[in-house]
Structure 1
């Protein structure tokens, strides 16, 4: 039986590949969630009037990859100390959030966040939010599998600070 996880960590273009390439992942979809406008467009989300955050919805086989493993992968794609966006992507639509669908996911996410804080990897506090999942709206087709369709543009996005942060902060 398949399960789902929803994570927001800046531009959704950069959040697909780290999950998409793992065994047990069936699908990673870019989209919008957490807001109050049904079926938002990219332009509406970019206007910062919808309350939505760019996110990825991951469909996975929990017998191959656990939710705990997904949360650990998530942390290593983000700067969990920056509540105002991620790297060059600024604003509420790029905030870091783990959207949980039930108490099981909430417990894992909160425990993982506490453990990360205890590790003292960062000089600042962990501010990534853990929120109840809301409806997830799939982004437009041109946003799906962006790293495959536009490898050069994806690489430029990664070089906007994310890759350097990952290389220095997480590979200690």
Structure 2
């Protein structure tokens, strides 16, 4: 399976690109915005932020909370459970340099798609993985990527596809955590077993 990891992700991009020729023609007819945003939940938002920031075409990544029932949540209330919020990231990107389909590929290869209880060492509702499409085109692309991978793995995948909701930025000390606290971040990521599990699922 490890040898197939990159091939699978490449095929996912191809499947997504071909899901709607009509939509593609419509998009070509419209001037592309210089910036767009996308929201993903991938467990710990420190790690999700660091993973997306490495991608060419990504302009900025903000850690925060979304998908819940309460307004203006904070870290303590979300971590305690009961708010319904996910730890998530708001990704601002340049569509002329990176496509939404490529962001989906980055999402999948940086989550454990079989864990319904959370991600890696972090368990609980706030650590579940999810995609938050902001329009019909993004929803179809997200569903196509999930359906293809479910067919490849021949089993249901845990990440949910949830309509985009209000995104609340997390506290300042959570932002750019991997850059501001590199030693603590590397220690946490290593102890959590994130990279080992990703390699087991997707390969190097």
TM-score by length of 2: 0.80
Instruction: Determine whether 1:42 maps to 2:107.
Output: no
Contact 1:14 1:157 in 2 (8 A): no
Deviation, 1:61, is 0.7
4+ residue segments displaced more than 4 Å: none
Q: Which secondary structure state, in structure 2, belongs to the residue aligned with residue 93 of structure 1?
A: helix
Q: Is the aligned partner of 1:119 residue 2:152? A: yes
Instruction: Report the equivalent of 1:156.
Output: 187
Q: Distance in 1 between matches of 2:131 and 2:183?
A: 28
Residue matched to 2:45: 12
Q: 1:88 is matched with which residue?
A: 121
1:52 to 77, 85, 89: 85
Structure 1: stretches of 5+ with no match in the other structure: none
Q: 1:157 Cα deviation (Å)?
A: 2.4
In 1, distance between residues paired with 2:162 and 2:98?
22
- 1:133-155 CA distance string (max 9 Å, x none): 11000000000001001112211
CA distance in 2, matches of 1:63, 1:119: 30
CA distance in 2, matches of 1:96, 1:157: 19
Q: Distance in 2 between matches of 1:97 and 1:116?
A: 15
Alignment partner of 2:162: what SS? Answer: strand
What RMSD over aligned residues (CA atoms) do the two structures have, in Å?
1.2
CA distance, structure 2, for counterparts of residue 18 and residue 40 of structure 1: 24
* Aligned length, in residue pairs: 170
What is the CA distance between 1:166 and its match in structure 2? Answer: 1.5
Task: Give per-residue Cα distances to partners, 1:103-154, cap 9 Å, x unaligned.
Answer: 111000000011111222xx75212100101100000000000100111221
Q: Which one has a larger percent helix, Structure 1 or Structure 2?
A: 2
CA-CA distance at 1:168 after TM superposition? 2.3
Distance 1:158 1:99 in 2: 24
- TM-superposed deviation, 1:167: 2.0
